[in-house]
């Protein structure tokens, strides 16, 4: 299948893990980041763009069939940083895609859009967002933009609430939220190719028996993860033991799905938050 796919945030670790499979499937990748990508392979083209620069983002979108939007601030930060990369930047990306008539967008949302739910509650995609951070708010905003652009402008969008993309889960929490890169590629393909896609929110998680999430929305789209977190339980538990050896566990982080993101700056009523 010959298509041209734009990947933003192309210097990031997640992009590096999924580029080979996407290149093999689609033939042409446009890679965009604020800094040059220095390991371009055959079939890859670099178009530099800062997300706050609308014209540069529009130039990156020119002539592409679909976008996998991984770019932006990747963790918690002050509001001005979040605004520039994840609010203004996301808005620029969607408006540029509309201007260039890009048909599909796969948005890298995050589990932190719902990180204030308790770990003992399985959360689907129909429940309201409960961000655990300014970063999580920005991901909820991105999901809302996808809804607007699908409903109002006819774009086809898939927001993937990513857990943790890695070759194996590194600790106990990640046994619940882990996403193997190959399974993430499968979700990207659904976003790029599914004929009936309008606008959907799914969880980016592999076959995790301890998952915090009901991923029925993804399964209805044909998602069938190939990788099981429990196959890596021993190494995850060893990683957890190393963490535990450094000191007692944070009660807030252990109670809420967002972990450290939820615990950072927390001054609320944990019982009320966890049981809401």
- Which residues are paired to 32 by β-bridges? 8
Indicate if 223 belongs to the active site: no
Q: Is 84 exposed, middle or buried (0-12, 13-18, 19+ CB in 10 A)?
A: middle
Token pair listed for 227: 């990788």
Catalytic residue among 26, 117, 135, 203: 135
- Which residues are paired to 161 by β-bridges? 109, 203
**What is the C-alpha to C-alpha distance for residues 57 and 183, in angstroms, rounded to an integer?**
28
Catalytically active residues are 135
């Amino acid at each position: 299948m010959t298509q041209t796919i734009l990947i933003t945030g192309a210097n990031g670790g997640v992009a590096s893990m999924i580029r080979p499979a996407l290149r093999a499937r689609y033939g042409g990748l446009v890679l965009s980041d604020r800094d040059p990508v220095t390991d371009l392979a055959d079939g890859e083209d670099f178009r530099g763009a800062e997300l706050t620069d609308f014209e540069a983002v529009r130039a990156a979108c020119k002539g592409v069939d679909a976008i996998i939007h991984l770019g932006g601030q990747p963790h918690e930060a002050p509001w001005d940083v979040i605004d520039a990369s994840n609010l203004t930047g996301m808005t620029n990306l969607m408006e540029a895609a509309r201007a260039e008539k890009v048909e599909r967008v796969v948005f890298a949302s995050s589990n932190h859009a719902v990180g204030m739910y308790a770990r003992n509650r399985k959360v689907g995609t129909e429940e309201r967002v409960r961000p655990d951070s300014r970063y999580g708010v920005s991901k909820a905003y991105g999901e809302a933009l996808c809804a607007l652009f699908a409903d109002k402008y006819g774009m086809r969008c898939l927001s993937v609430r990513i857990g943790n993309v890695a070759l194996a889960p590194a600790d106990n929490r990640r046994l619940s939220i882990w996403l193997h890169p190959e399974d993430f590629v499968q979700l990207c393909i659904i976003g790029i190719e599914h004929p009936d896609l309008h606008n959907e929110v799914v969880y980016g998680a592999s076959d995790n028996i301890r998952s915090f999430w009901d991923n029925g929305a993804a399964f209805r789209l044909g998602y069938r993860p190939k990788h099981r977190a429990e196959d890596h339980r021993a190494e995850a538990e060893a990683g957890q033991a190393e963490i535990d050896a450094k000191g007692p566990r944070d009660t807030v982080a252990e109670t809420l799905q967002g972990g450290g993101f939820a615990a950072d700056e927390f001054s609320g009523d944990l019982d009320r938050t966890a049981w809401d």
